Amino acid sequence: MRPEGPRDDYAGPDSGPEAPFPIKLQGPVIKGFGRGSKELGIPTANIPPEGLSAYPDLSTGIYFGYTSLHHPPSPASTTTTTTPNATPASTSDSVTIYPSVLSIGYNPYYGNKTRSIEIHVLHSFERDFYGSSLNLLILGFIRPEYDYVSKESLIEDIMTDCKVAERSMKREKWELQAHQGWEEWLRDFGWARGMTGEDVREVERKVLGQDEKGSVEEGKL
């Protein structure tokens, strides 16, 4: 259960990220449980958790960092977010970099059996990003995962997580331009070159253990 008491205003020291951060993960946006947008009003994008094998000691919990997205050409549809827009950290051509909050773990409130990476980008979008390519640069840890007595308590904590992340990343040593190589890595989508929709569906089947007609809904930003 979530401990009583006020939350910290910032995550991480003013001097910037400390080991093992930054942590670099990447993957296509795959189907998730469909709860972030529909039940919580906090849309998320899921990526495969296989990259976490390089960080066996990484705790489950809530983290923050930068997300870059490379969108495939597709018809637009509308989706909204309850969190206020954060200014994109960087934009160029079809790649945009945004501050983000994410969970790594099993979400005790819902009792997930499969570990997931669920990313909430701090921006409002007018289209879904299922099948887009995503680079994730994790800068720091906000808090552990908790179980909650109600959905409202969970939502309240997530909204606080978003505010903590935004404040934390506005500090000088946490800004994108303060670190050589961060933006270059976030803009590099060479790993996704040639990836098809069928490739994404195959990744989903491996991650979720379901066939193509499974009941898991598409994750949305």
Give me the active site residues, please: 118
Stated length of the chain: 221
Residues 9 and 12: their CA atoms lie apart, in Å, by 10
| Residue 159 three-state SS | helix
Residues 184 and 188: their CA atoms lie apart, in Å, by 6
- For 2, 44, 187, the CA distances from 181, given in Å and listed in that order, are 37, 26, 10
DSSP 110: T
- Torsion sign across C-alpha atoms 46, 50, 54, 58: positive
Residue in 192, 163, 175, 168 with CA at minimum distance from that of residue 69? 192
- For 127, 135, 169, 216, the CA distances from 86, given in Å and listed in that order, are 17, 18, 11, 29
